[in-house]
Amino acid sequence: MNALFPLTLSTGLFVVLSIALGFLFGFFLERAGFGSALKLTGQFYLNDWSVLKVMFGAIVVACLGLVLLSMMGIVDFGMIYVPEAYYLPMLIGGLMVGLGFIVGGYCPGTGVVAASTGKWDGLVFLAGIVAGIFVFGVTEPSFHDFFTGNSRGPVTLSQLTGLPSGVLAFLLAAMAIGAFWLGEKVERSMQAKKAVQE
């Protein structure tokens, strides 16, 4: 294939590129206001839908962009890494992440953003992450089989539905716009409810 991407880089160049991309990621998260636990948990309480808009918006942009670049031959779609799907472990892990998000007020990426802007709760959250990783490492042998068993292999939506990736990208975009519109309606009704209570 003569596609430009994925790139094959030397380790040094890879590290430099990773740092640059990470910097941009953190920069835009902070600019979106995601260094604030109040803004982040507002999504859970349904009165601030920024998290959905930013994250889902990024997903849709990336999805449409990948489909376009793959059709133009710039990205070799067949070499994009697809991780293996483990349905039940991922479901349980996701629930735990969600729980941690609400209790702590951050998710791992935004926790780093908060810590880097000097917020103490962000730093404590990061300490919690490190402790959690340690606990996981120590207890993992006891649930190793559950953790690594039952892989469904690298599954894509295109594989499950039989639809071409462009069609799925369009459906995703439509779903996102629907969700944004719904979110704004809910935001307005929550604000109205709050105004009545005050």
Partner 1 sequence: MKNWEVRLSGKTLAAAVVLGFGAVMALASMAAQSNAGLPSNPQSLAAAIVEERDHVQPRELAQWILEKRTDYQLIDLRAAWEFDDYHIPTAVHIPLDQLFADAGLKQLERGKKIVVYGLGAGHPAQASLLLTLKGYQAYSLKEGITAWWDDVMTPQSLRGEAPDPAGYQQLRQLRQRFSGGPVTPAASSGVAPALPSMPGAPGGGTPKKKLKLGRGCS
Residues that bind partner 1 (CB under 8 A): 60, 64, 67-68, 71, 77-82, 154, 156, 158-159, 162, 164-167, 169-174, 177, 180
Q: Is 153 left (phi over 0), alpha (psi -120 to 50) or beta?
A: left
CB of 73 to partner 1, least distance (A): 11
**From CA 167, how far away is CA 158, in angstroms rounded?**
9
Q: Which of 65, 81, 68, 73 is nearest to 1 (CA)?
A: 73
CB of 87 to partner 1, least distance (A): 19
CB of 90 to partner 1, least distance (A): 19
The set of residues, in sequence order, having a beta carbon less than 8 Å from that of 173 and lying 6+ positions away, is 60, 63, 64
What is the amino acid identity at position 52? L
Nearer to partner 1, 52 or 172 (CB): 172
CB of 177 to partner 1, least distance (A): 5
Nearer to partner 1, 80 or 192 (CB): 80
Nearer to partner 1, 8 or 11 (CB): 8
**From CA 178, how far away is CA 193, in angstroms rounded?**
23
CB of 65 to partner 1, least distance (A): 10
Nearer to partner 1, 96 or 171 (CB): 171
Nearer to partner 1, 137 or 162 (CB): 162
